[in-house]
Structures are given as structure tokens and as C-alpha cells.
């Protein structure tokens, strides 16, 4: 079942799925460049507010079809993780990566480092 | 790296400041490395470097001219891959870039990268422009060493990495 905001900005696309009552899957595809940075930030923050409101336990971010994110779009993820860090008892994050992608693995490691102990971020792939 | 290229090789582009050109250039570079069957990790390192260095060079270019050069140099069975950008910029922007590059010079850039990420989030600017996220990605995510040279108001940034045919790190 699809739910919540849909992202379509430049070459970047995103959808929110609700596979279970307390789960969210944010699927991203395409290229996130400077043109898409604000739309991506708004997409993530809208999804965050919705997940908190509904008591979600886990939000999975699917990068399997994501070709590239630039640093401006990475900053949108930092803003989102910062919101998670400042929300007590917030949901856990799971990043689903393309196992063949070096940049995804390295960017995911950076996001985990940024989240520190105040955000639960696991990486698959 | 494939034996299709067995001697030093390079390509160079002069880019007029146009942000929409950055993604096509990145794709071209990825395609180039795929064509010579470079390891995926090397391709991604160079992709990050090309995108972020060129994006910065275009964003802070003072006179409408930005140069990008990507070079390959065989070193035994390895390759030395170099991505270089050159542009003129304001004194303030050059000084800011050099300050960020100096911070990233440590052998382990990850702690500085985390600091820079936290600084970027604290900025009002939605892009985090000027925080150094792009340069930090090249150094920390791409694992590339970065050198720079300032001549007058011209800034040259050179990111390089020595990669093996089994580059996966």
C-alpha cells in the first residue's frame, strides 16, 4: 500500500510504502543533484513527521535504484537524521543498498557516523 | 584495470559555468571507466570526485571558465588516477576552500568529515554551500588524497588515488 508524499524532482523519484502498520519504506531512484535538494529534504521531513505521528518502529530507505546523490542531497539526509536524533524514542533507520555500489556503501557509512549513538541506523547490502 | 589502456591516458574538458552540465560529465566519466573495465569502486571514487570538484569549481568560478582533467598513470599493475579542477575564484572563496582542504589533510579524514557534516546541518543555507561537504566526500568517501595550489586568484585542486585491479575498499 502506498502512503504519504511522493517525490518527483529533476531526475530524482521517491515513494513511500507502508508494508506494515508500523513500518515505512522510502524508495528512491534516479539522480539526486542540486536541483532536487530541497524537494528531497521536504520529502524526508514529511515522511519523518508521518512516521512519528503513526508510531513507526522502523523506516527503511531503499537506494537499490539510486544512481547517485550529490553532497547537497546528502545534506538533506543529514537534516533528516538530525531530526531523528532530536526526537526521543524515534524509529530505527535501515538503509538498503545496492551491494555493488561503492559510493552507496561509503555514503551510508558517513550517515551512520553522523547519526552517532543518538540515531539507530543499520545498513543492508 | 583492463589492459585496453596500457600507457598514460587522460581527457580534459573546459566547462562554462552551468550546473546542469555536472551530471552529464559525471556520467561520461563513469562510462569511460566502464569502457576500460575499471573496478566499480574506482569508478565510484572518480565519479564522486568529478561531480563534487566540478560542482564546486562551477559554483565558485569567478570568470566563467572551469577546467577538468582526469588522468590515468600505470604504476606496475596498479593505476594512479587523478582528477584535477582549475578555476578562478574570489579571494574569500579561495581562502575558505584552502581552510577546508587543510582540515581534511589528516591521515584519517572521517572525524573531520563528521565535524563538517554537523557544521553543514547548522547552516541556514539549504545546500550547505561553503561547508565543505563536497570536498570532504572526495577525501573521506572516495579515499582520495587531495593536493591544491593557489596562484593569484586561481585554485587548482588535485584528487588522486592509486588503485589496483581488485579495488573494492
- The tens digit of pLDDT for each residue in A39-53 reads 999 999 999 999 999
Q: What angle do CA A69, B117, B146 make, to 5 degrees?
A: 75
B40 neighbourhood in chain A, CB within 8 Å: 100-102
B107 contact partners, CB below 8 Å, separation of at least 6: none
- The tens digit of pLDDT for each residue in A108-117 reads 999 999 999 9
Q: Which CA distances in Å does A69 have to A34, A57, B45? A: 9, 26, 13
**pLDDT band, very low/low/confident/very high, at B32 (cuts 50, 70, 90):** confident
Nearest to A68 among B26, B40, B142 (CB): B26
Instruction: Say what the pLDDT of residue B128 is.
Output: 46
- The tens digit of pLDDT for each residue in A53-80 reads 999 999 999 999 999 999 999 999 999 9
Nearest to B127 among A31, A34, A113 (CB): A34
Q: Identify whether the C-beta of residue B52 lies closer than 8 Å to the C-beta of residue B29.
A: no
Query: Closest-CA residue in chain B for A36?
Result: B127
CA distance B43 to B51: 12
Q: For all residues of chain B together, what is the average pLDDT?
A: 89
Amino acid at each position: 500500500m502506498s502512503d504519504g508524499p511522493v517525490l518527483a524532482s529533476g531526475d530524482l523519484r521517491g515513494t513511500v510504502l507502508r508494508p506494515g502498520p508500523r513500518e515505512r519504506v522510502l524508495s528512491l531512484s534516479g539522480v539526486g543533484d542540486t536541483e532536487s535538494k530541497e524537494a528531497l529534504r521536504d520529502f524526508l521531513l514529511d515522511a519523518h513527521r508521518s512516521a512519528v505521528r503513526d508510531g513507526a518502529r522502523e523506516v527503511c530507505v531503499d537506494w537499490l535504484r539510486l544512481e547517485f546523490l550529490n553532497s547537497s542531497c546528502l545534506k538533506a539526509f543529514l537534516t533528516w537524521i538530525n531530526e531523528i536524533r532530536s526526537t526521543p524514542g524515534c524509529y530505527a533507520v535501515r538503509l538498503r543498498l545496492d551491494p555493488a555500489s561503492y559510493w552507496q556503501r561509503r555514503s551510508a557509512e558517513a550517515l551512520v557516523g553522523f547519526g552517532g549513538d543518538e540515531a539507530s541506523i543499520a545498513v543492508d547490502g | 584495470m583492463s589492459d585496453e589502456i596500457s600507457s598514460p591516458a587522460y581527457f580534459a574538458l573546459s566547462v562554462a559555468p552551468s550546473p546542469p552540465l555536472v551530471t552529464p560529465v559525471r556520467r561520461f566519466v563513469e562510462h569511460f571507466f566502464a569502457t576500460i573495465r575499471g573496478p566499480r569502486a574506482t569508478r565510484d571514487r572518480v565519479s564522486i570526485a568529478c561531480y563534487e570538484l566540478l560542482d564546486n569549481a562551477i559554483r565558485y568560478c569567478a570568470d566563467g571558465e572551469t577546467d577538468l582533467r582526469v588522468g590515468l598513470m600505470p604504476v606496475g599493475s596498479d593505476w594512479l588516477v587523478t582528477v584535477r579542477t582549475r578555476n578562478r575564484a574570489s579571494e574569500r572563496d579561495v581562502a575558505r576552500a584552502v581552510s577546508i582542504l587543510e582540515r581534511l589533510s589528516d591521515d584519517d579524514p572521517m572525524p573531520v568529515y563528521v565535524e563538517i557534516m554537523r557544521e553543514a546541518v547548522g547552516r541556514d543555507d539549504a545546500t550547505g554551500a561553503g561547508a565543505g561537504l563536497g570536498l570532504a566526500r572526495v577525501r573521506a568517501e572516495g579515499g582520495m588524497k587531495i593536493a591544491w595550489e593557489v596562484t593569484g586568484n586561481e585554485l587548482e585542486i588535485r584528487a588522486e588515488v592509486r588503485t589496483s585491479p581488485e579495488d573494492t575498499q
